[in-house]
Amino acid sequence: MAASLLRSQDLKHSINTRQLTMIGIGGVIGAGLFVGSGSVIASAGPGVVFVYLFVGLIVILVMRMLAELATASPETGSFSTYASRELGSWAGLAVGWLYSFHWCITVAFEAIAGAAIAAQIVPGVPTWLYALAFMLVLTGVNLAAVTSFARFEFWFSMVKVAAIVLFIVIGLVAAFGLLPHFASPGAANLLGRGGLFPHGATPVLLATLTVFFSYFGTELVTIAAGEAKDPTTAVRQSMRSVALRIIIFYVGSILVVVTLMPWNAAEVTKSPYAAVLNVLGIPGAQTVMNLVVLTAVLSCLNSGIYSSSRMLFSLSRRGEGPKSLGRTGRSGVPVASVLAASSAGFLAVIANYFLPTGTVFTFLITSSGSVAVVVYLTISLTHIVSRRHKTPEEVRALKVRMWGHPHLSYLVVAVLAVIVGGMALSPASRTPLALTALVTAIAVTAGLLHQKARKTATVPALVMAQPEPLEATEAAPSE
């Protein structure tokens, strides 16, 4: 407990339960749902609903494991801190830096994506200028105070949740033939155009990686818990409802899309949600969806700066990163960590000034690779080891417990390993997998070297701390 307080003593515990819960809800609805789902539907077919459901179930189980760890010990470093404690410093360092790397790339990705969307809404302004404006504003928000981040993310999440719920309601009304001037297609779009998986198994495997990327961000609530007023209650409430949110927001909305629209329609590939609203005759559908997608992108950008900066802060406080990243300003914000987390976004702005938007966009997507799978594997292994270290009494005292442990825990690890193996066999996914493997190998090597250096430095310190023996020449006390 003392070590936990020491690691976060300079952070302000200012996020209230309502804000943290909404951050958790909004964290599920990422920009990938609106931006990336069109290409996934086009490649996998209408059966992509089952891909979202399957991956969603795996994510639900992983988040249940993380919830058990987080409610027992809320930490800003979340799974990275737990990995250091259960697997060794090398593991915490490796997964912490990998996670920060992923979010730095995501920040850059979202800055460019947001700029492209803003240029569609208000053309005539260079995309790099939009990207610069977004980066400056949201970096400033994260530098001001943690409450600034929480307020922005709360309202971003409100817009996303309202939009997706309204979309599902309108879609269900149309699917049941209750919407005027629209004839429900029934199951024709699901089964009548080549079946559920018209292109076979390979596109389904590739879609799995994209869907994993879409779900990534659910863990944000456990990182923000380190600055919450009542972290245990908020994390427990948010993580317990993650299954319901995934099924409703992702599986529900994708099912609406593939039911109402042909999976191979060009409009679906470009913008599936706008395509559905256009077919249903909703006025200004494209503009409305552009605004919603822009909100989701800015939300992801805001969350990316926050989560990456807090992970860097935690790594620094544990001695697994530069000391400068662990210092905070008067407002309790780790200024150097926020600036480091934002740096990739500003580099993307510079690259976007000299290169076409598509070039930067594609490079950043490929660079993000499959880090999400590595993080989920680490969480699962950390949880399994954590349970081994606990007595039956300690397990019974847990506020949240993983379902069906150890069987479901091992099942998740096996499924994630199979996904990684499948990606290695598919030519289209080898590049992101190879890049992730390279970055992971570098991070693990750095972690092992750091752990070895720390142990080497500890041994002399322990020797110096031992009391010196009496000198042989010292006179014996008189009887």
- Measured CA to CA in angstroms, residue 229 lies from 11, 44, 62, 233, 309 at distances of 11, 44, 25, 9, 20
Give the pLDDT of residue 305: 93
| Termini Cα distance of the chain | 49
- In a domain? residue 295: yes
Mean pLDDT to the nearest integer, 378-387: 96
- Measured CA to CA in angstroms, residue 340 lies from 7, 166, 218, 336 at distances of 19, 37, 22, 6
- In a domain? residue 461: no
Is pLDDT above 80 for 27? Answer: no
Is pLDDT above 90 for 338? Answer: yes
Give the pLDDT of residue 117: 87
Q: Band of the pLDDT at 208, cuts 50, 70, 90? A: confident
Average the pLDDT over each of 53-57, 254-258, 262-266, 473-477 and give the range with the smallest value.
473-477
For residue 464, the one-letter residue type is: M
Give the pLDDT of residue 267: 86
Mean pLDDT to the nearest integer, 315-327: 90
355: buried, middle or exposed (CB in 10 Å: 19+, 13-18, 0-12)? middle
Q: Band of the pLDDT at 475, cuts 50, 70, 90? A: very low
Is pLDDT above 50 for 8? Answer: no
Q: Band of the pLDDT at 7, cuts 50, 70, 90? A: very low
- In a domain? residue 268: yes
- In a domain? residue 264: yes
Give the pLDDT of residue 419: 84
Structural domain including 179 reads 2-451
- In a domain? residue 478: no
Mean pLDDT to the nearest integer, 360-374: 69
Mean pLDDT to the nearest integer, 388-411: 92
Give the pLDDT of residue 349: 86
Is pLDDT above 90 for 173? Answer: yes
Give the pLDDT of residue 1: 38
Give the pLDDT of residue 473: 43
The CA distance from 231 to 16, in Å, is 9
Mean pLDDT to the nearest integer, 243-254: 86
For residue 301, the one-letter residue type is: L
Is the CA virtual torsion 290, 283, 280, 157 positive or negative?
A: positive
Give the pLDDT of residue 361: 57
- In a domain? residue 103: yes
The CA distance from 98 to 441, in Å, is 10
For residue 15, what is the domain's CATH number?
A: 1.20.1740.10
Give the pLDDT of residue 233: 80
Query: Which has more pLDDT, 232 or 467?
Result: 232
- In a domain? residue 476: no
Predicted model pTM: 0.86
Q: At a CB cut-off of 8 Å and minimum separation 6, what does 455 contact?
A: none
Q: Tens digits of per-residue pLDDT, 416-447?
A: 998 888 778 777 778 778 888 888 899 999 99
Give the pLDDT of residue 5: 35
Give the pLDDT of residue 218: 83
User: Which of these, 345, 331, 338, lies nearest to 301 by C-alpha position?
Assistant: 345
Give the pLDDT of residue 308: 92
- In a domain? residue 323: yes
The torsion angles phi and psi of 228, rounded to 5 degrees, stand at -95, 155
Give the pLDDT of residue 460: 58
Q: Tens digits of per-residue pLDDT, 75-116?
A: 888 899 999 999 999 999 999 999 998 888 888 888 888 888
Q: If you average pLDDT over every residue of the chain, what do you get?
A: 84
Longest dimension (CA), the chain: 111
Number of domains in the chain: 1
Q: Tens digits of per-residue pLDDT, 132-172?
A: 999 999 999 999 988 999 999 999 988 988 999 999 999 99
51: buried, middle or exposed (CB in 10 Å: 19+, 13-18, 0-12)? buried
